[in-house]
A and B are shown apart, each in its own frame.
Chain A
Amino acid sequence: MSPILSVRDLRVVFGGVTAVDGVSFDVAPGQLLGLIGPNGAGKTTVMRSITGIVRPNSGVIELDGQRLSGLPIHQRMRRGLALSQQLVRPFREMSVIENVAFAAGHQKTDNPLRALVTFSHAKEQARAKELLEMVGIAEHADADTGSVPLGVLKRLEVARALALGPKVLLLDEPLAGLNTSEAETLAETIKNLLQGGLTIVLIEHNLREVMRVCPHLVVLDNGRKIGDGPAEQVMADPVVRAAYLGAATGDAGVAA
């Protein structure tokens, strides 16, 4: 099957420091891919190159066979990407549900002229309500984003990204800042999204949850790819273990 998202020879240099050094990987349709690696491995830079926030020095990124290189951020999103950001960025002047409903109305905001003659929010409100229920924060729907805890805002990020109806959902550390039970629930929700045919790339530090939900892993270290394959196999690789877990000693840790 041809990949829905393909990264080829990606190279990003920040002021002489090579942050990403010739990384390539494919994401198959319907896959949940975990993109992992120690701090500074280049995971977020790869994610940002895909969304267009970072302009790579070289390399090709294709979504569903279409090259994304050179496109501005908003056009990439309109071609089927969505990003849930690591640091939550809700619109502060909108309530929780308004944030999601705004994203759900993406077709109405595509063109300013169309936006100028479109009013109804009913469909978007209903869709937003569904998504808030899906991520488990429906009871906070009408709350001000300034008055809800981080755990709710993290899930709001995910719901808002989903509201764009993406082909590929990029999740940048969605579990960070959640307590154990919240993290477990959200990881479960993420897994369930696959049943709807969505493709997901998950960057995550929470190795326990990554191992639990991601069947497939890509491992980065120092800007290079050092592992790519089924999770168990990748984590058993001594190179990966040395880099990611520190010089590996015995079997402890991986299975945990």
Chain B
Amino acid sequence: MESLLNAYDMSLIRTAAIMVVMALSLNMITGFCGQISLGHAAFMGIGAYTSVKFSINGIDFALGTLAGMALAGLLGLIVGLTSLRVRHDFLAITTMGIVFLFSGIVEQSRYLGDTDGLSGYPHPAYDDFTYMMLTILLAIGVVALSVYIKRSWMGAAFKSIGDDEDTARLLGINVPLYKLSAFVLGTALAGLAGSLYAHQTTIIQAENFGFIESITVLSMVVFGGVGSITGVVIAAVVLTLLPLWSQAIGDYKLLFYGGLLFLMMRFAPYGLAGLAQRARLLLTRRAGTAQ
């Protein structure tokens, strides 16, 4: 298998796997728990910068990754706390502020390489193939974690909050605590995606984790179908690879994602998962009338 893939193929697969982790991390917050976030890429950035700083200081990649996840999750908790009192469009604006805060701080900090970013940091001693397999395994792990949470009573509580949080309270659900749990889980996993991303490239800059990246990830969740694990995985893979395969889409990436987000919201708010379900219903109905 190793010989079948050239270095470029492997980088594509790696990137797709990392974006699966990233999209599923936002899906925990936006999909499972119904809390929109327009600033999710900032947490990916926190994971990336933290783990790179660890690598620069000669600390093991795995430890640096865990530290990146912990810091992203901690800051996710703080952002979550400040967001508890706002809903819907106000939550969108609050979370949008996070990416600008992130790039504002990073670009002013010599320690974080300001606008030049960080580069020339050590990479883990894996070859391309091993690193690709690692990202795939971690993506599978995050898929499994998503399925696990969705099926647990925590998933049920998330779903009730996303559906109608006032009624959830009336059924004894500690809404703030569950929302914070979703924020911490989702932002820590974004930190994982950030560390994986940073160590498969040679330079990280604040603009890699800005508003455009946040919207890109959100469009993956919306395109896949908010809350649907299968849908989001497919969307993350397709939307990562399309701009890399097609020069035209790559050149107009922002227009493409923005347009897609708009079209899905307007015509298929339940995303690919919703379209699939509609198609299934239509087919069974057809089969029913044909008999």
A and B: bona fide binding partners: yes
Residues on B with beta carbons closer than 8 Å to the beta carbon of A78: 172
Contact B159 A91 (CB under 8 A): yes
Residues on B with beta carbons closer than 8 Å to the beta carbon of A74: 169-175
Bound Cα distance A212, B181 (Å): 48
Of all chain B residues, the one with the shortest Cβ separation from A93 is: B163
- Which of A38-46, A102-110, A189-197, A228-236 touches B? A102-110
Residues A85 and B153 in contact in the complex (CB < 8 Å), given A74-B175, A93-B163: no
Contact A102 B156 (CB under 8 A): yes
Residue of B151, B159, B174 touching A93 (CB-CB under 8 A)? B159
Give residues 166-220 of B contacting A (CB, 8 Å): 166-167, 169-175, 177-178, 181
Contact A164 B152 (CB under 8 A): no
- Bitwise, A147-166 to B at CB < 8 A (1) or not (0) is 00000000000001000100
Residues A105 and B153 in contact in the complex (CB < 8 Å), given A89-B164, A94-B159: yes
- A54 shortest CB reach to chain B, Å: 13
Bound Cα distance A160, B159 (Å): 16
Tell me if B35 counts as interface (CB < 8 A to partner A).
no
Residues on B with beta carbons closer than 8 Å to the beta carbon of A82: 170
Bound Cα distance A167, B185 (Å): 35
Residues on B with beta carbons closer than 8 Å to the beta carbon of A160: 171
- A169 shortest CB reach to chain B, Å: 12
Most buried by A among B153, B156, B169: B153
Give residues 40-65 of A contacting B (CB, 8 Å): 51, 53
- A145 shortest CB reach to chain B, Å: 10
Bound Cα distance A117, B151 (Å): 10
Tell me if A115 counts as interface (CB < 8 A to partner B).
yes
Bound Cα distance A96, B13 (Å): 42
- Bitwise, B24-38 to A at CB < 8 A (1) or not (0) is 000000000000000
Contact A112 B154 (CB under 8 A): yes
Bound Cα distance A114, B154 (Å): 8
Tell me if A14 counts as interface (CB < 8 A to partner B).
no
Most buried by A among B149, B160, B166, B172: B172
Residue of A51, A53, A105 touching B156 (CB-CB under 8 A)? A105
Give residues 64-118 of A contacting B (CB, 8 Å): 72-74, 77-78, 82-83, 85, 89, 91-94, 102-103, 105-106, 108-110, 112, 114-118
Bound Cα distance A102, B149 (Å): 15
Residues on B with beta carbons closer than 8 Å to the beta carbon of A117: 152
- A144 shortest CB reach to chain B, Å: 12
Bound Cα distance A56, B271 (Å): 44
Binding site of A, secondary structure by majority: helix, strand, loop or mixed? loop
Residues on A with beta carbons closer than 8 Å to the beta carbon of B159: 91, 93-94
Residues on B with beta carbons closer than 8 Å to the beta carbon of A51: 170
Of all chain A residues, the one with the shortest Cβ separation from B174 is: A74
Bound Cα distance A92, B159 (Å): 10
Of all chain A residues, the one with the shortest Cβ separation from B178 is: A112
Residues on B with beta carbons closer than 8 Å to the beta carbon of A119: 151-153
Contact B181 A103 (CB under 8 A): no
Residues A77 and B171 in contact in the complex (CB < 8 Å), given A105-B156, A112-B181, A116-B152: yes
Of all chain A residues, the one with the shortest Cβ separation from B181 is: A112
- B145 shortest CB reach to chain A, Å: 10
Tell me if B157 counts as interface (CB < 8 A to partner A).
yes
- A234 shortest CB reach to chain B, Å: 30
Residues on A with beta carbons closer than 8 Å to the beta carbon of B157: 109, 112, 115
- Bitwise, B130-151 to A at CB < 8 A (1) or not (0) is 0000000000000000000101
Residues A85 and B170 in contact in the complex (CB < 8 Å), given A74-B175, A112-B181, A117-B152: yes
Residue of A91, A109, A115 touching B167 (CB-CB under 8 A)? A91
Residues on A with beta carbons closer than 8 Å to the beta carbon of B154: 109, 112, 115-116
Q: Which 9 A-B pairs have the closest CB atoms?
A: A115-B153, A115-B154, A77-B172, A73-B169, A91-B163, A108-B153, A116-B154, A89-B167, A112-B181
What are 6 contact pairs spanning A and B, CB under 8 A?
Answer: A89-B166, A93-B162, A109-B153, A118-B153, A164-B171, A164-B172
Binding site for A on B (CB under 8 A): 149, 151-154, 156-157, 159-160, 162-164, 166-167, 169-175, 177-178, 181
New A-B contacts (19) at CB < 8 Å, excluding given A77-B171, A112-B154, A116-B154 = A53-B166, A72-B169, A73-B170, A77-B170, A85-B170, A89-B164, A89-B167, A91-B160, A91-B163, A91-B167, A93-B162, A108-B153, A109-B153, A109-B173, A112-B157, A115-B152, A117-B152, A119-B151, A164-B172
